[in-house]
Amino acid sequence: MSALVIAEHNNTALNSATLNTIAAAFKIGSSIDVLVAGHNCRSVAEQLGKTAGIAKVILVDHEAYAHHLAENLATLAARIGKGYSHILAPASFFGKNVMPRIAALLDAVQISDVTAIESADTFVRPIYAGNALATVQTTSSPVMLTVRPTAFDPASAEGGSAVIESAEGSGETGLTRFVGQELTKSERPDLQTARIVISGGRGLANGENFHKYIEPVADKLGAAIGASRAAVDAGFVPNDYQVGQTGKIVAPQLYIAVGISGAIQHLAGMKDSKVIVAINKDAEAPIFQIADYGLVADLFEALPAMEKALA
């Protein structure tokens, strides 16, 4: 058996979700190659070459892959992926976008958002916003998997010495043109890998209050900031802050939900956190049913008090 992992990166740095995906591939017990497709991205391949346990890094360095357009990348990955027993990518917006396209090109089925690997052909994945877990077996080949990063400890980025092999691109499909990106800039830790996350909901009432009440506490804790869908829809914070079934899945050591009611779609994105704190003025809010520590309080009083107490 041999597995191909599709690396997620921004041409200069590896996205750490790739290391979680490699760790999942180890559980299949196969020899592992990693595909790095991008533009001027050799440093990513070199970084991956040091990851313990990888046999080969396949580097495809071409303008066509600069922006990870699904059409170009899938055509390439389907060509390179032929012959592997398994192909894996992180279940991030990147992996979700490109993997099903590769699968269809290979006439293979995909198992999405895998949280446990039982054997080389049997996998566990959450469905219905995490209300149920499905154990799925497939005999289709290759086995296409997107992997939920929070479910696997990352592979060690040290100690390996994989060969880096350059491969040809597959050209441009000409179907899509990249126009631009608007990335949220932040000095804070990354939401998906932070040790502590503090999220705000509709209870914050406006975006200004995220600055005034959430940020000072986040600063004291060195925390990343997240949000509920209601807070994002209302424009308090950008879309990439959304935690939940259809946003980001996080599992930090400490998750603090502030002014969030605890809808099932929100819980789906954070209920695997180690310790959960809820601050809500409604003692009946469902979030308290899963919180380790609940504080029934007005957030506009509780957060400034927290900031002070943490000084």
Ligand X SMILES: Cc1cc2nc3c(=O)[nH]c(=O)nc-3n(C[C@H](O)[C@H](O)[C@H](O)COP(=O)(O)OP(=O)(O)OC[C@H]3O[C@@H](n4cnc5c(N)ncnc54)[C@H](O)[C@@H]3O)c2cc1C
Q: Which residues are annotated as a binding site for FAD?
A: 202, 228-229, 242-246, 259-266, 280
- List the one residue out of 91, 47, 48, 94 whose CA is nearest residue 73: 94
Asked if residue 299 binds ligand X (CB under 6 A), the reply is yes
Asked if residue 252 binds ligand X (CB under 6 A), the reply is no
| Span from 61-69, 88-96, 106-114, 275-283 in contact with ligand X (CB under 6 A) | 275-283
| Span from 62-70, 141-149, 175-183, 229-237 in contact with ligand X (CB under 6 A) | 229-237
- How far is residue 111's CA from residue 31's CA, in Å, rounded to a whole number? 20
Binding mask 154-193 for ligand X (x = CB under 6 A): ----------------------------------------
Among 110, 112, 115, 228, binds ligand X (CB under 6 A): 228
Q: Measured between alpha carbons, how far apart are the two ends of the chain, in Å? A: 54
Residue 63's CB is within 10 A of a number of other CB atoms, namely 12
Query: Which of ligand X, another protein, none does residue 12 bind to, with CB < 5 to 8 Å depending on kind?
Result: none
Distances (CA, A) of 122 to 144, 170, 269: 12, 32, 24
On whether the CB atoms of residues 237 and 207 are closer than 8 A, the answer is yes
Asked if residue 77 binds ligand X (CB under 6 A), the reply is no
Query: Which of ligand X, another protein, none does residue 266 bind to, with CB < 5 to 8 Å depending on kind?
Result: ligand X
Query: Which of ligand X, another protein, none does residue 101 bind to, with CB < 5 to 8 Å depending on kind?
Result: another protein
Asked if residue 230 binds ligand X (CB under 6 A), the reply is yes
Among 95, 203, 252, 294, binds ligand X (CB under 6 A): 203
The answer to whether the peptide bond before residue 142 is cis (omega within 30 degrees of 0) is: yes
Asked if residue 280 binds ligand X (CB under 6 A), the reply is yes
Nearer to ligand X, 65 or 213 (CB): 213
- How far is residue 43's CA from residue 60's CA, in Å, rounded to a whole number? 12
Among 244, 251, 291, 306, binds ligand X (CB under 6 A): 244
Query: Which of ligand X, another protein, none does residue 4 bind to, with CB < 5 to 8 Å depending on kind?
Result: none
Asked if residue 91 binds ligand X (CB under 6 A), the reply is no
Q: What DSSP element (H or E) covers 285?
A: none
Distances (CA, A) of 180 to 67, 72, 177, 241: 9, 17, 9, 20
Among 137, 246, 253, 289, binds ligand X (CB under 6 A): 246
- How far is residue 31's CA from residue 261's CA, in Å, rounded to a whole number? 45
Min. distance of Cβ 26 from ligand X in angstroms? 30
Nearer to another protein, 128 or 165 (CB): 128
Token pair of 111 as six digits = 């198992």
The DSSP symbol for 91 reads: S
Q: Which residues pair with 56 in a beta bridge?
A: 33, 163
- How far is residue 103's CA from residue 78's CA, in Å, rounded to a whole number? 8
Phi-psi sector, 262: left (phi>0), alpha (psi -120 to 50), beta: left
Which residues contact ligand X (rule: CB under 6 A)?
201-203, 228-231, 242-247, 259-261, 263, 265-266, 269, 280-282, 285, 298-300
